[in-house]
Amino acid sequence: MDCEGKHISRIAEICSGLGNITMEQRLTLRAGRNNFGNFNATELEGCEHLYELNVNFNQISEIRKDTFINFTNLKILDLSRNNLMVFKSGWSADFMPLSLTTLILNGCPVDKAAIRNYPNLSHLRKLQMLRIDGLRDTFDIGKRTNRLQELSLSGLYSFSHCSIPHISNWTFKKLVSIVKLNISACSVRSISAGAFEHLKHLQILDLSYNRKLGFRSMENISYGLQFTDIRSVYMSYIHTTFGLGTSLLR
């Protein structure tokens, strides 16, 4: 069901109608850009059988622990571009259903004055795809999330931000199952040799739009990639428009 930008003031208006629809195996609700604000479990009655829920850009600042308690079938949740303080130390993601395989959290505010951490998503043991903004810290969202296969920290999405000046051998070391890694437009300036060699299942690496990275970094980027399952590396726009030239030798 597409309710994107329909000027609906409360999500309960949608869910009450969904309750009368025969349950489908993959029922999807796209309800972004409606300015719902915060909502609770009662307002979501009728939406419990959703497979995918998109509530991006709805001025959501807080979600209580029991809000999605009956959402046992929910696989895809998009909470991007809301006011959730996901990077604030101590922020709890306990409200997220254990059934989630895809989570989209990019575009939420980052308080530069506060201590910032990636949220702890340890309880989401089935999570396979995550889109979130990028911090300069070592990437760690919990010990039990090693099934993550696709991670996007890209700053190219609307309202997203990513700042990872240096990628070391430790930055993504815990992503033991990662297949696709997108760190485009992340203000990357340098990369340690062998930074990706321990990602044994890595097939796709996107470093595009890191304009200060330069072609000279290609040696470090490629170092150790033969020990992965790499198939595609994207490096468009990794050089400044004006600057010293670099000779590329075959």
Please indicate, yes or no, if residue 5 is contained in any of the structural domains: no
Please indicate, yes or no, if residue 160 is contained in any of the structural domains: yes
pLDDT tens digits for 44-75?
999 999 999 999 999 999 999 999 999 999 99
Q: CA-CA distance, 82 to 60, in Å (whole number)?
A: 5
**Residue 89's pLDDT band (cuts 50, 70, 90):** confident
Which CATH number characterizes residue 120's domain? 3.80.10.10
- Name the one residue in this structure whose structure tokens are 């309800």: 31
Query: 106 and 132 in contact (C-beta within 8 Å)?
Result: yes
Please indicate, yes or no, if residue 124 is contained in any of the structural domains: yes
247 has pLDDT over 80: no
Helices marked H in 32-190: none
Please indicate, yes or no, if residue 177 is contained in any of the structural domains: yes
Neighbours of 65 (CB within 10 A): 12
- Residue % of the chain over a pLDDT of 90: 77
Count of domains observed in the chain: 1
Tell me the CA distances in angstroms from 248 to 59, 216, 219, 224, 245, one per residue in order: 48, 9, 11, 20, 10
Q: CA-CA distance, 198 to 168, in Å (whole number)?
A: 12
From first CA to last CA, the distance across the chain in angstroms is: 52
Give every CB contact of residue 113 below 8 A, 6+ residues apart in sequence: none
pLDDT tens digits for 120-159?
999 999 999 999 999 988 898 877 677 899 999 999 998 9
Residue 125 structural domain: 75-250
Extended strands (E) in 110-210: 129-131, 150-152, 166-167, 180-182, 190-191, 204-206
Please indicate, yes or no, if residue 31 is contained in any of the structural domains: no
Please indicate, yes or no, if residue 69 is contained in any of the structural domains: no
113 has pLDDT over 80: no
Please indicate, yes or no, if residue 59 is contained in any of the structural domains: no
Backbone angles phi, psi at 134, to 5 degrees: -105, 130
pLDDT tens digits for 191-242?
999 999 999 999 999 999 999 998 889 999 999 999 999 999 999 999 765 5
In DSSP terms, 178 is beta-bridged to none
Please indicate, yes or no, if residue 65 is contained in any of the structural domains: no
Please report the pLDDT score of residue 240 as a whole number: 64
